Structure 1
């Protein structure tokens, strides 16, 4: 049985986020968001930085520092195009750090440049 993708799509990793992590551009902002979530699960810092828009990209994410987050699940609430090369994705990601559970609820902005989607930033709905 193929390994299921950690993004919660129900598809095998090799047919879901795996190709994005290997260099294939994500087809949609939602696909990029899902691949970024699974990159956090797999601690793929180089992928996360490469898919972060240069205007807002941090120098490092320090994913190897302790305590590391244990990612528990992703729920995509909505994906909406906001223009021909822009979109928003609302999601909730659950994780634990040091035994404590947390919820990250974010409305993320994405831009497509030269055929590639990039994460720009996010806000936290109340």
Structure 2
């Protein structure tokens, strides 16, 4: 049972973020793309936060976020995008999908840890 789902097609980023969060007392699940992320979210009702890349094969992060809200009808999980994308159009699409935050890579764990803990209720 994980508190946070990290979704990124880069194993380096996925492991870096996951390891940092685990070292700081959070439980983490990992997914390789948006499609895998949806499967993991369906299987683990304890997930309270998704940290997700935008550009991934099979299913991008924004499409995954939209499906979390529409197909899974899950409006309680918080979603934060961790991406190199900084396009206002993409940010608007994310906002429409209920994204809570938009973080531009590289990942700076110490800067976001307090917010992540608040989002998962720790």
| Shorter-chain TM-score tier | 0.3 to 0.5
Structure whose residues are more often strand by fraction: 1
Task: Name the TM-score, length of structure 1 as normaliser.
Answer: 0.33
Question: Which has the higher relative contact order, 1 or 2, with Cα contacts under 8 A spaced 6 or more apart?
Answer: 2
Task: Name the TM-score, length of structure 2 as normaliser.
Answer: 0.34
Structure whose residues are more often helix by fraction: 2
